[in-house]
């Protein structure tokens, strides 16, 4: 719904972007156009005046950062003022700090979306907050209104107050609170009747219900499509009965964005939620900074500008540019350039900020760029790699000979020793290793896919998340090398897999128990990252160690192909558990349990391998 406004503003700033220095005339001209754009978008006149005055005050006399253009500087100031006008940074959450049952009263004009929003809210509180919600309709104006809410309640899988004919709204409200208390509900949502316009009778009814139930939140539902009328409605309601928050519905429509912008300034009440569709999950928190970004239509380019201004030393950059022109740009210079860029945050963090560029989402950019090295490698491999050890020019001659001899010996041993494929599939050792590999895979994939999301849940920005997520990964690389080396030196395999697996399981369980406590959670995630990466490469020594030359290949193929099913199952399981419980805690405990099972199965596989050895020994000896 902010498209019209964003198009206009982007047009204004596009014209400013190319210029070197910004004169007072430029500022004046830009602000004139901002004013027209805001008025066009149906922002109330006093709000526009105030807005322009604030931007002008900050723009004139502001020190222009050396690394951004004056136009970008103005965009930044407009963005800041927009966020303030919309209510400051961050969403204002619903107030649920009260003894249960917490009454939430929904008020508003006819057809604004009260009943629909009541259903959406009930679903959200049941799913995300795990609260027991009771829905009650106080709408005695429209015959079918109470049934409408009962249906929505059924969809949201929450109970609704049984309908008793002939009761007044106040009586229904009191009954709802009684049931709420008696039956242990956490939240009681009271949906009132709407009127065509604000009238005495409506306000009186709302006042009486308020007095009878003392709601913790009185949410005014307004239709964004009605523009300035929505703002006037909100003002009248707030003055008459007092509202604690505003829900703007039909933000999915093509309403002009102005109402949202005027709302806070004129009513003083925060917009807490927005409705973005008719379905029950179409309810979102209202984030002023996101809306401001959308109005300016440039993803998070502002953040990029800000960060660039902080870190790139303009003089240094100019020096490098001059060097480049003279063709004297060396590795040293390249390193210094890289250092400046790394100061800006990790690759995915920066790419996430390119959100919207060339019509692609930030995450699409992340995937595109991340695929590039793999594609490059695929193109190079056929030319660099050779077919057999004899041609491997990167090995020393004696290394080549050793490897060839080893392979020959294994081949000789394998002839006549190989067990049938069915026999391998049925062997206890292969079955145990396959199950163990599936379970370890759950740990690996839960870690790979959900680590950033788990960290993000702690409330960090994308950039910080990408830094933090890199720590367990780096520890994983270290763990992998240390454990593999130790295993190769000692020749011991089973414990080198079992112990990291056990540690990873304990780490996952610790993660589940410490969700929401940043330090403890990060330490647990580091333990998981390090241990699970250490367990994986060493694991592949087990099939060769246990199965012998003739059966190892088929065994490895079985374990690998069946075992990789965890790549499909693990994200499903974690996602489902997260949606069902609202946190990652249960999912981490379950995955931790599975990895623990893997740690228990590994020694059993080793024990059963002795049996398989016997199987091979029973085969006729190989011809000399």
Closest CA to 182 of 98, 100, 97, 96: 100
Among 112, 226, 244, 434, binds ligand GTP (CB under 6 A): 112
Contact 46, 225 (CB under 8 A): no
Among 35, 62, 100, 110, binds ligand GTP (CB under 6 A): 110
CB of 194 to Mg ion, least distance (A): 6
Stretch that binds ligand GTP, among 108-116, 200-208, 433-441, 500-508 (CB under 6 A): 108-116
Which residue in the shown chain puts its C-beta closest to Mg ion? 115
Q: Kindly state the tokens that stand for 585.
A: 């805690």
Q: Kindly state the tokens that stand for 68.
A: 């951004």
Residue number, 103 or 472, with CB nearest to ligand GTP: 103
Which DSSP category does 353 fall into?
T
Omega of the bond leading into 112 within 30 degrees of 0 (cis): no
Residue number, 272 or 578, with CB nearest to ligand GTP: 272
DSSP alpha helix (H) spans, 183-227? 200-213
Residue number, 69 or 112, with CB nearest to ligand GTP: 112
Residue number, 56 or 142, with CB nearest to ligand GTP: 142
Among 52, 111, 311, 410, binds ligand GTP (CB under 6 A): 111
Q: Which does 137 bind (CB under 5 to 8 A by kind): ligand GTP, Mg ion, none?
A: none
Expressed in percent and rounded to 5, the helix, strand and coil fractions of the chain are 70, 5, 25
Contact 594, 442 (CB under 8 A): yes
Stretch that binds ligand GTP, among 113-121, 174-182, 365-373, 525-533 (CB under 6 A): 113-121
Among 31, 145, 209, 246, binds ligand GTP (CB under 6 A): 145
Closest CA to 230 of 260, 265, 200, 274: 260
Residue number, 68 or 274, with CB nearest to ligand GTP: 274
247: β partners:
221, 273
Q: Which does 521 bind (CB under 5 to 8 A by kind): Mg ion, ligand GTP, none?
A: none
Per-residue HEC secondary structure of 388-411 comes to CHHHCCCCCHHHHHHHHHHHHHHH
Q: How far is CA 614 from CA 269, 602, 609, 618, in A?
A: 79, 19, 9, 6
CB of 114 to Mg ion, least distance (A): 5
Query: Around 196, how many Cα atoms within 13 Å sit in the side-chain half-sphere?
Result: 0
Residue number, 151 or 346, with CB nearest to Mg ion: 151
Among 69, 116, 447, 487, binds ligand GTP (CB under 6 A): 116
Among 9, 38, 104, 114, binds ligand GTP (CB under 6 A): 114
Q: Please, which of residues 79-138 interact with Mg ion by CB under 5 A?
A: 114-115
Q: Which does 227 bind (CB under 5 to 8 A by kind): ligand GTP, Mg ion, none?
A: none
Counting contacts by CB under 6 A, is residue 447 touching ligand GTP?
A: no
Q: Please, which of residues 206-265 interact with ligand GTP by CB under 6 A?
A: 249-250, 252-253
Counting contacts by CB under 6 A, is residue 205 touching ligand GTP?
A: no
Contact 555, 503 (CB under 8 A): no
Q: How far is CA 308 from CA 80, 398, 486, in A?
A: 17, 53, 44
Q: How many residues bind ligand GTP (CB under 6 A)?
A: 21
Counting contacts by CB under 6 A, is residue 194 touching ligand GTP?
A: yes
Among 87, 245, 275, 362, binds ligand GTP (CB under 6 A): 275
CB of 204 to Mg ion, least distance (A): 19
CA 274-277-278 angle, 5° bins: 120
Burial track 347-356 (b if 16+ CB lie within 10 A, e otherwise): ebbbbbbbbb
DSSP alpha helix (H) spans, 491-517? 494-514
Residue number, 114 or 264, with CB nearest to Mg ion: 114
Counting contacts by CB under 6 A, is residue 139 touching ligand GTP?
A: yes
Contact 299, 355 (CB under 8 A): yes
What does the alpha-carbon distance between residue 44 and residue 227 come to, in Å, rounded to a whole number?
Answer: 10
CB of 191 to Mg ion, least distance (A): 6
Q: Specify whether the backbone of 90 is left (phi greater than 0), alpha (psi in -120 to 50) or beta.
A: left
By CB under 5 A, name the binding residues for Mg ion.
Answer: 114-115
Residues that bind ligand GTP (CB under 6 A): 108, 110-116, 139, 142, 145, 194, 249-250, 252-253, 275-278, 282
């Amino acid at each position: 719904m902010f498209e019209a406004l964003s198009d206009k503003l982007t047009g204004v700033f596009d014209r400013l972007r190319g210029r070197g220095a910004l004169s007072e005339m430029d500022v004046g001209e830009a602000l004139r156009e901002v004013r027209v754009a805001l008025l066009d978008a149906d922002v109330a006149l006093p709000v526009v005046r105030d807005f322009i005055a604030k931007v002008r005050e900050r723009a004139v006399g502001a020190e222009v950062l050396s690394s951004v253009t004056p136009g970008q500087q103005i965009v930044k100031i407009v963005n800041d003022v927009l966020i303030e006008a919309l209510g400051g940074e961050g969403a204002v959450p619903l107030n649920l700090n009260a003894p249960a049952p917490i009454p939430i009263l929904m008020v508003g004009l006819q057809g604004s979306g009260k009943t629909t929003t009541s259903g959406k809210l009930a679903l959200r509180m049941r799913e995300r907050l795990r609260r027991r919600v009771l829905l009650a309709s106080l709408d005695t104006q429209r015959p079918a209104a109470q049934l409408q809410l009962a249906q929505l309640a059924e969809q949201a899988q929450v109970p609704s107050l049984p309908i008793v004919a002939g009761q007044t709204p106040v009586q229904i409200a009191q009954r709802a609170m009684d049931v709420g208390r008696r039956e242990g509900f956490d939240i009681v949502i009271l949906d009132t009747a709407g009127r065509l316009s604000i009238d005495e009778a409506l306000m009186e009814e709302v006042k009486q219900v308020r007095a009878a139930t003392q709601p913790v939140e009185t949410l005014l539902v307004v239709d964004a499509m009605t523009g300035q009328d929505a703002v006037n409605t909100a003002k009248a309601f707030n003055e008459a009965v007092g509202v604690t928050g505003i829900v703007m519905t039909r933000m999915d429509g093509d309403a002009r964005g102005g109402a949202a912008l005027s709302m806070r300034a004129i009513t003083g009440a925060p917009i807490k939620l927005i409705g973005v569709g008719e379905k029950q999950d179409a309810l979102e928190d209202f984030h002023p900074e996101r809306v401001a970004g959308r109005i300016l239509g440039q993803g998070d380019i502002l953040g990029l500008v800000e960060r660039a201004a902080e870190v790139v030393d303009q003089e240094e950059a100019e020096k490098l540019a001059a060097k480049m022109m003279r063709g004297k740009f060396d590795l040293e210079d390249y390193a210094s350039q890289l250092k400046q860029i790394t100061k800006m945050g990790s690759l995915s963090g920066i790419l996430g900020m390119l959100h919207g560029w060339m019509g692609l989402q930030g995450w699409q950019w992340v995937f595109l760029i991340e695929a590039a090295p793999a594609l490059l490698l695929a193109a190079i491999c056929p030319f660099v790699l050779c077919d057999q050890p004899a041609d491997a020019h990167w090995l020393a001659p004696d290394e080549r000979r050793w490897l060839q001899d080893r392979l020959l010996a294994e081949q000789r041993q394998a002839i006549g020793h190989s067990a049938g494929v069915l026999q391998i599939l049925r062997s206890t050792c292969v079955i145990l290793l396959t199950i163990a590999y599936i379970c370890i895979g759950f740990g690996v994939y839960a870690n790979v896919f959900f680590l950033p999301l788990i960290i993000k849940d702690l409330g960090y920005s994308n950039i910080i998340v990408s830094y933090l997520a890199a720590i367990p990964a780096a520890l994983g690389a270290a763990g992998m090398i240390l454990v593999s080396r130790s295993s190769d030196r000692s020749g011991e395999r089973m414990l080198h897999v079992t112990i990291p697996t056990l540690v990873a399981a304990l780490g996952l369980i610790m993660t589940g128990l410490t969700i929401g406590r940043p330090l403890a959670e990060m330490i647990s995630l580091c333990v998981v990252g390090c241990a699970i990466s250490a367990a994986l490469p060493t694991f592949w020594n087990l099939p060769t160690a246990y199965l012998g030359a003739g059966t190892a290949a088929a065994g490895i193929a079985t374990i690998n192909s069946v075992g990789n099913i965890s790549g499909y199952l693990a994200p499903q399981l974690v996602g489902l558990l997260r949606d069902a419980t609202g946190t990652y805690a249960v999912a981490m405990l379950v995955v931790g349990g599975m990895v623990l099972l893997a740690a228990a199965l590994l020694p059993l596989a080793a024990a059963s391998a002795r049996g398989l050895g016997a199987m091979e020994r029973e085969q006729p000896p190989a011809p000399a």
